[in-house]
Every structure is written in structure tokens, then in C-alpha cells.
Amino acid sequence: MSRPFIQIVEVGPRDGLQNEKTVLSPEVRADFVRRLEAAGARRIEAASFVHPKYVPQMAGAEEVLAALPKEAGRSRIGLVLNGRGYDRVLATSADEVNVAMSATNGFGLKNQGLSVDQQVEMLAAIVAGRANAEGEPGAAPSLSATLSCVWGCPFDGEVSADQVADLVGRIAALGVAEIALADTIGAGDPWSVTKKVEAARSTAPHAALRLHFHDTRNTGLANAYAGVEAGVTILDASVGGIGGCPFAPGATGNIATEDLVYMLERGGFDTGYDLDALIEASRWIGEKLGKPASSALSRAGRFPR
């Protein structure tokens, strides 16, 4: 019998690197993507189309994509915060666009200058533009949305399940087929993961859910476990656990891809990754960043060897 498949979206080249002090060139970042693909990644957040004034680590997003010609079976995702970013992605070879949104007004206003209602309007305008462009040459990249601060907001505090259910429902009603719930500041626990997944399903029963966890407070893998137990089959992770949390100085980043792969494969799931190649990629990026990976697998190695 084949093992159930869990899809891991590699976010190291975007969420990881954008929270690291060391700024890497577009050339090195494209190399990073290729190494991750060689280790088994099939969906990768390759770049963020934000203004380099705000996120210098993501400068040259177009150059990263230009170094990654389209390949069958590989999907490179460009992250955007608004319509301007969306238009920039359209001019590249990116296979997917992910629109970042926030579950709270506080984070939305600080991060992209938009309240929750304004973010929904922004997403609706992007969706409408796609409908108008239908039939034009060249396949439009597929669209997903990520909702940040689902488990807590550095400005507004606790986030309720009702708040999440309402917003997820509004996003799904626009026709967005995949919605990611993100624990941006690593405030969640496994039991609240179950609750927020149930809340999202209550208003968006047909949307694919994806979960994005940060290991800021050591609950990342437990949260991933809870998500899988709740039936979610798409999880974000960053190799080496690179990145951090801008609101928790010294924190590690997303859950480490190699730690997640190890846990899932030991548990009988298939992820499509080569764990040894992944650990190698983790060490490689650690050298580029001048600090060893924080992942457990890069220190302890696999079992059995």
C-alpha cells in the first residue's frame, strides 16, 4: 500500500532568508532553490515581490526567477503584498502567486498599510483582473492566499476562531482555491491548531488548507502534527529552520524542513524528499549565512543511519 503523501512547501528562500541579517545575491538565492529542488522540493516560495527598501533581503526577485526557467513538475511561488507586486510576478516565469494577508487590522496596517477589509478589496481586485485577462496568451500563475497572525498578533494580541472563520470564508468566496493559515509569530499550540483548522473549514469547506508554522516557542512540530491529524496535507517549512521572527529577537524561523520530513517519514508518510540531500542543503545555506542551521536533524542526523 502506498504511503499517504504530505506536500511540503519550501519557504526557506523567501520567509527564511527575508528574516536573516545576511543579504544574499539573487544568484545565490536561485542556486539555493535549485539545491532544494534537487533534494525533492516541488513547490518553493522563490521570491517576494516587495519593495527592496522594506525588505533588502528580497531585492532582485525578477533576477531570481530569471535564473529558474520553467520546468515541468516544479512550482516556484512569488509572494506579493498588493496589486503592484502581483503585476511584477506576472512579468516573470513564476508558476504561482501567493498573496499575503493578515487576520488582524494591526498587523495588516503595519505590514502592508491595509486594514483587513482593505486587504480583501485588494485581493478581490487581483481576482477580477485575472478574470479579465482570461484567454490572453500565456497561462496565468495559480493563486493562493496566506493569512498571517492566525494564532496571535504582535499588535492586536489574541486572534479568535470566529475572526479566522469569517476572513477565510470571504477569501474562499472570491474563488481562491488554496488558503494558508500562518502562525507568523509562533504563538500557537497543537490544540488551537485543531480549533483554527475547524474554524477555517466551517466557512471554506472546499478550499485546500495549508499550514505555516514558526518554531518561535518550540511548538512548531507539535503544531504540524496537530495539523496533519486534523487532515491537512500541505505544510510550509524552511530548510535549516532559517529565518526568525521579527517580533521575537533571537528566535529561530519556520519549522525546519528536514525535521518535518524526518517526523513525517518515520510516521509512515511520504514527502518526496531525500533527507540526506536536504541536510546537505541545510548545511550549505548555513555556511552562506555564516551560522549553523538550528534544525535538530542537521545536528543529530537521521535514524536509522
Half-sphere exposure of 64 (CA within 13 A, CB side): 30
Q: How far apart are CA 87 and CA 82, in angstroms?
A: 9
Q: Give the Cβ contact number of residue 267 at 10 Å.
A: 12
With respect to Mg ion, which residue has the nearer C-beta, 49 or 90? 49
Q: Which stretch binds Mg ion (CB under 5 A): 13-21, 73-81, 155-163, 193-201?
A: 13-21
Q: How far is the CB of 215 from Mg ion (least distance, A)?
A: 11
Q: How far is the CB of 206 from Mg ion (least distance, A)?
A: 25
With respect to Mg ion, which residue has the nearer C-beta, 19 or 163? 19
With respect to Mg ion, which residue has the nearer C-beta, 76 or 90? 76
Half-sphere exposure of 202 (CA within 13 A, CB side): 13
Q: How far apart are CA 199 and CA 180, in angstroms?
A: 13
Q: How far is the CB of 131 from Mg ion (least distance, A)?
A: 29
Residue number of the CB closest to Mg ion reads 15
Which residue stretches of 39-180 are H helix? Answer: 61-66, 83-90, 105-112, 116-132, 161-173
Q: Which stretch binds Mg ion (CB under 5 A): 14-22, 51-59, 124-132, 138-146?
A: 14-22
At residue 281's C-alpha, the angle toward residues 279 and 285, to 5°, is 120
Q: Which stretch binds Mg ion (CB under 5 A): 10-18, 38-46, 131-139, 292-300?
A: 10-18
Q: How far is the CB of 294 from Mg ion (least distance, A)?
A: 15
Residue 183 binds Mg ion, judged by CB under 5 A:
no
Residue 15 binds Mg ion, judged by CB under 5 A:
yes
**Residues with a known catalytic role:** 245
Q: How far apart are CA 4 and CA 27, in angstroms?
A: 35
With respect to Mg ion, which residue has the nearer C-beta, 18 or 282? 18
Half-sphere exposure of 281 (CA within 13 A, CB side): 31
Site residues, Mg ion (CB under 5 A): 15
